[in-house]
Amino acid sequence: MIQIDLEEERKEILKRYRKLLKMAKPLLKEGDARIIKKAFSISNDAHKEMRRKSGEPYIYHPLEVAMICVEEIGLGTTSIVAALLHDVVEDTDWELEDIEREFGHKVATIIDGLTKISGVFEYGSSQQAENFRKMLLTLSDDVRVILIKLADRLNNMRTLDSMPRHKQLKIASETMYLYAPLAHRLGLYAIKSELEDLYLKFTDSETYRFIANKINETRISRNRFIKTFIAPIEEELESQGFRFTIKGRPKSVFSIYNKMKKQNIPFEEVYDLFAIRIIIDSEIDNEKADCWQVYSIVTDFYRPNPDRLRDWISTPRANGYESLHTTVMSNTGQWVEVQIRTVRMDDIAERGYAAHWKYKEKDAAQGGKGPSGLDEWITQVRSLLESNDGNAIEFMDDFRGNLFHDEVFVFTPKGELKVLPHGATALDFAFEIHTEVGAKCIGAKVNTRLVPINHKLKNGDQVEILTSAKQRPTEDWLNSVVTSRAKAKIKDALKEEKRSTILDGKEIVQRKLKQMKMDFNSEIVEQLRAYFETKTPNEFYYKIGKGIIDPTSIKSFKDFKEQKRQKSKPSLDKVKDESSFTKEIKNLKGPEHDQLLIGEDMDVVDYILAKCCNPIPGDDVFGFVTVNEGIKIHRTSCPNALELLSNHGNRVIKARWTSQQQIAFLAGLRIVGTDRVGLINDVTKVISNELKVNMRSITVDSDSGIFEGTIKLYVHSTQHLEKLMSNLSKVEGIIKVARFD
């Protein structure tokens, strides 16, 4: 057993606490240090018997979260106190009332928003989604709840090493699904990038290490290159009297990975690996002119790419981000991204919402600007929360739709600017103008040309909405909009009619189940929902009520269930989630077994390989307990993995391959090359002769001397597949070989 030096630990705790106070000092008012000390003492005492999975004292976690709040987000005393106490109510005997008595209503409200909902959840619902909705409900009172939650999540991700593999997957996916987009939306770019990098580190560590090493290898030459690149710019800026700093920065690991994946290119071909940031000290009234002057200086030395100019100074992003971006060609033939901004803009870009508030208060004191895009977004989230009475997963889908990365800037007929998410349609624009205009919209004129309601808008479009008093929203409209405002308003309009249809459908289902002598309960309803491939129970009832699903087909569900019961292993009926699976497998195979061995446990538990990602031995995988189809094995890189792990983490089980090789698994390869006579023959020869691989199909397309083909074939493992890909890439004329799902 590891000996713990309690005295050393006590010193380390105090050292971290003093560091926190030192960092917070510039933000503190009189009496604040005393309140922070009290919060620290209570938290330290409440958690004194607790340790983290890594073996460290638990108090390290609240201290680190408070530190992130101060150092990386720039929050003040209330947030430090709430961060220090954020787990006290959930994990110890302290109640919310005690917190309110000691620290006041504000701190208690924030901690309530950060405390998970406990208790039993209805079968098929999502605990993660419910907790997320609860946290967002406090957004209407205090944005600091979300900011502290992001700090909490960042510390959890930084210390994820000590967690078991399936927990790593669940937490990392949830982070990528919700918290990274949320950090982006609140303008916390440094936190967003780190969360994305950590997600990649824990879900695809091989790729992460590969890119991180590549960035490391090129560091010295990159620094030398940046030094040469900025020398003439620095000289000119100084001669024109600018006060400035220039930072060189590599792209984040995740953004490089994304480029490689999206464009299907190797690391070496990611062209804007370099970015430099010029930050100028400028008076608020001269900011715009100064930034454009710096742009002019940069383009005097280097030729810009006209398609890569982004002006977020004239029209800031909806999260408050302001900057001027251009990509220029260096003298050595490499593209370099140049970002130009002022100290104020950089502060907002790095610290997001907290900095935004600081400058907003200054503006207000000087009788300045009205609400920003960020305030408007928070107002939108509030109205989404108020209008959403569906289930939490539906709410999560709507909310994620609200976290768009890109925006389009469009104009009303009178020239007023409206900012909408990327992919927004004429109908979104109509609802943006007014609910009544949206509800009666029959089409639009975009740049004087007549277009339908589902026409997607582009930057700079001028839009005039056409209405008719006879028009009514229909179900199809939900497919024609992307903004949560439009979705919420359309759902409101459809709600009354839909509600009675849902009730009719529910009655029909109850009647049918009674006739078939089956219980009507949440478990059966969840199984019916999955069997008929509907997203929510209400959607299932609605389709029954509308006659889209024939009520008599419920009989086929009973037959399916009966067949499944006869085929099913005796243990399977009890497996509903990860904890019941672990219990069952330990009962059957002994106390040391807590995971599914693929290829070995077929006699104990039913499982199938998911069709969406066709895993093969060697792939990193997880098991997922479905409602109707037993356990499915997915690749961790499966397109559906993010949502499954984020919303239903309790149904994720550990799974790994056994070493057996006799089974063949279907895999797909995409090959690209220059066409020549006999190329196909050489490709099929490698596949059939060299490795005795069985091919299922091959499709080839040749255009102007470029050859593209897809091959589906059976392999034994990822090593087998990699060997085959390596041999194929040696065939004369083949440029690229890649696996696809």
For 578, list phi and psi in degrees, rounded to 5: -65, -45
Burial degree of 539 (CB within 10 A; 0-12, 13-18, 19+):
buried
Residue 623: its H or E element: strand 621-625
Rg value, the chain, Cα: 29
The residue behind tokens 């059957």 is 588
The token pair that represents 70 in the structure block: 């101060």
b/e burial code for range 11-24 (CB count within 10 A of at least 16 → b): eebeebbeebbeeb
- 161 has catalytic annotation: no
Residue 463: its H or E element: strand 463-467
The residue behind tokens 């969360």 is 195
Phi-psi label, residue 447: left if phi above 0, alpha if psi -120 to 50, beta otherwise? left
The token pair that represents 460 in the structure block: 């700079």
Burial degree of 306 (CB within 10 A; 0-12, 13-18, 19+):
exposed
The token pair that represents 231 in the structure block: 């020398």
Strands 596-598 and 655-657: parallel
Q: Rounded to 5 degrees, what angle do the CA atoms 389, 532, 638 make?
A: 85
Whole-angstrom Cα distance, residue 351 to residue 190? 8
E strands, 266-370, in order:
274-280, 303-304, 310-311, 324-329, 335-342
Residue 140: its H or E element: none
Q: Are 36 and 82 in contact (CB under 8 A)?
A: no
Q: What is the dihedral of CA 416, 420, 425, 429, to 10 degrees?
A: -40
Strands 274-280 and 303-304: unpaired
Q: Are 607 and 630 in contact (CB under 8 A)?
A: yes
Whole-angstrom Cα distance, residue 519 to residue 626? 20
Please enumerate, as own/partner, the contacts of 296-304 that have beta carbons within 8 Å and a separation of 24 or more: 297/233, 297/236, 297/237, 297/240, 298/233, 298/326, 298/328, 298/338, 298/340, 299/326, 299/328, 300/236, 301/232, 301/233, 301/236, 302/328, 302/329, 302/330, 302/331, 302/336, 303/328, 303/329, 304/328, 304/329
E strands, 212-323, in order:
244-250, 274-280, 303-304, 310-311
**What are the DSSP calls for 433-451, one per residue?**
H-HHHHHTEEEEEETTEEE
DSSP 8-state code for residue 359: H
The helix, strand and coil proportions of the chain, stated in percent and rounded to the nearest 5, come to 55, 15, 30
Closest CA to 412 of 443, 384, 447, 378: 447
- 122 has catalytic annotation: no
Burial degree of 200 (CB within 10 A; 0-12, 13-18, 19+):
buried
Alpha helices of 204-218 — where are they, by DSSP H?
205-217
The token pair that represents 22 in the structure block: 């030192």
CA–centroid distance for 625 within its chain: 22
From the candidates 90, 436, 507, 732, which is the catalytic residue? 90
**What are the DSSP calls for 361-387, one per residue?**
HHHHHTT-----HHHHHHHHHHHHHHH
Q: Is the CA virtual torsion 307, 310, 315, 317 positive or negative?
A: positive
From the candidates 9, 32, 91, 152, which is the catalytic residue? 91
Single-letter residue type at 265: I
List active site positions.
Answer: 90-91
